[in-house]
Structure 1
Amino acid sequence: MKKLIIVLICLIGADFSGSAQNRPAGKQFKAGTSPAKQGLSILQMNNGKKVYDLYCQACHQADGNGVPRLNPPLSGTVYVNGSKTRLIDIVLKGLSDPIEINGEEYNNPMAAHDFLTDQQIADVLTFVRNSFGNKSGPVSVEEVKKQRAKK
């Protein structure tokens, strides 16, 4: 029974310790500030991490640092921390043009991920914008719907 409980806790990513170092990846909230005060939802962050692990991690890596000259990093870039609409468009439409990030050029095309739901895109972008050292605001389902309608 004890093993079953431990497995269930690991599967749902529960954190009963309250300490920042024991939090699952993605819960990089400002010390002393609740996620809600930052406009972030733990559920959205956890769901975003699941989408990231499934569709993004292979190229952008578990640490968000990407692969040099192949797949760009997601940490500390204007593409992640800047315009939400540009970031949403990259997920919806993909990216085939070379881009320069932090002085390095990346040429590997990114496929469109428009098969993801608006909620999944909002979740994964909120996760990315608040993980890997990033501390940007959340992306809402409404923002994704608005960009998808422009497609």
Structure 2
Amino acid sequence: MRTNLDFSPLFRSSIGFDRMLNALEAASRAEMVDNWPPYDIVKSGEDDYRIAMAVAGFSQDELAVTQEQNMLIVAGQKANGEDVHYLHRGIAGRSFQRRFELADHVKVVGASLVDGLLTIDLKREIPEEMKPRQIAIGTVQTMPQTKQIKADNQAA
């Protein structure tokens, strides 16, 4: 049973959450989920993440990892090889494109291909101006003094 969620009340009462609400809305509309190639997403530290993707049969030249703003795109395209007659083909060699939505300030640190496993390392790097900072609290003595003018009460 599938239920469609209506996010319009959240759009009316939230500011700055447009990307998150659009992602939730897109996820609720997703009809067919392609689960190939299989992958894992691991949180390896406080701000460190790793995506491990099984890409058996693909060489380094046949894979592309691209980051566009807040989107990570991993694509595989098999090179046109020799004409081979398979009696049984169990290793998938079809082209693929997998997209991962990245949070703000998440950057790709590196990628490696070892033993048919593509590993992509990610790190969240929050800019210094967005990190919490301590605000000094001043005292009355450090505040600028205001002078009060006294009126002359002499009668003319």
Q: Which has the higher strand share?
A: 2
The structure with more radius of gyration: 2
Q: Which has the higher helix share?
A: 1
Q: TM-score, normalised by structure 2?
A: 0.27
- Greater RCO between the two (CA within 8 Å, min separation 6)? 1
Q: TM-score, normalised by structure 1?
A: 0.28
